[in-house]
Amino acid sequence: MVHDFQLRLGRFMARNTLTITRVTLGIVFLWFGLLKFCPGLCDVELMAQQTMTLLTFHLIPPTTCIHILAVWECVMGLTLLFAPAETRIGAMALRLCVLSLFAHLAGTFLPLVFFPHEVWKHLPYAPTLAGQYILKNVVLLSAAVSIGAATYPARSTLCLVPALAPTRRTA
């Protein structure tokens, strides 16, 4: 009985892990993007503004930077949630989204270098709450890698649970 449950659970996870990852990552990006449209609701808004202002060499005003970031995050979230991977255009949108996720997530780590006094209590082992918020993006990055592995063409297919892959019996 326990073994059957474990097999069913394993098969469910293997069949649905990419969908679950896409949906949850999409919700997170859409949610956090929407929060950035409402001044004061996002605790790292100021740090995001400062980072983007530095990256644009102060050529774009901070409020415009945060709105660009908000739109970017919302578009990525909506793409993850609704782009049909089975269609050519949907697959292309997902591939662009994965590249966009990599660029975005790379940028989220920049405050660790740009503003060390705000993200570290004791460098490099004790991050502040803002630093923890940034460091958790490693998990989002791994989710983006999983989605990318299933989205980009590869010479072999992605098999998340080799033990559950169909096997051929020989006589």
pLDDT tens-digit map of 86-103 = 999 999 999 999 999 999
Residue 1's pLDDT band, with cuts at 50, 70 and 90, is confident
pLDDT at residue 99, rounded to an integer: 97
> For the chain, how far is it from start to end, CA to CA, in angstroms?
29
Look up residue 124 and give its two tokens.
Answer: 């490099």
Does a structural domain hold residue 35?
A: yes
Residue 168's pLDDT band, with cuts at 50, 70 and 90, is low
pLDDT at residue 42, rounded to an integer: 85
Q: State the Cα angle at 99 between 118 and 83, rounded to 5°.
A: 115
What is the total count of domains within the chain?
Answer: 1
Does a structural domain hold residue 166?
A: no
Q: What is the pLDDT of residues 148-166, one digit of tens each?
A: 999 987 765 556 655 555 5
Q: What is the pLDDT of residues 114-155, one digit of tens each?
A: 999 999 999 889 999 999 999 999 999 999 999 999 998 776
Does a structural domain hold residue 4?
A: no
Domain boundaries, position 65: 15-153
Does a structural domain hold residue 48?
A: yes
pLDDT at residue 157, rounded to an integer: 59
**Beta-bridge partner residues of 120:** 127
Mean per-residue pLDDT for 61-85? 97
Does a structural domain hold residue 165?
A: no
Does a structural domain hold residue 163?
A: no
Residue 43's pLDDT band, with cuts at 50, 70 and 90, is confident
Does a structural domain hold residue 8?
A: no
Neighbours of 135 (CB within 10 A): 14
Residue-averaged pLDDT of the chain: 91
Query: Cα–Cα distance between 63 and 14 in angstroms, integer?
Result: 42
Residue 110 has pLDDT above 80, yes or no: yes
Mean per-residue pLDDT for 23-40? 96
Does a structural domain hold residue 74?
A: yes
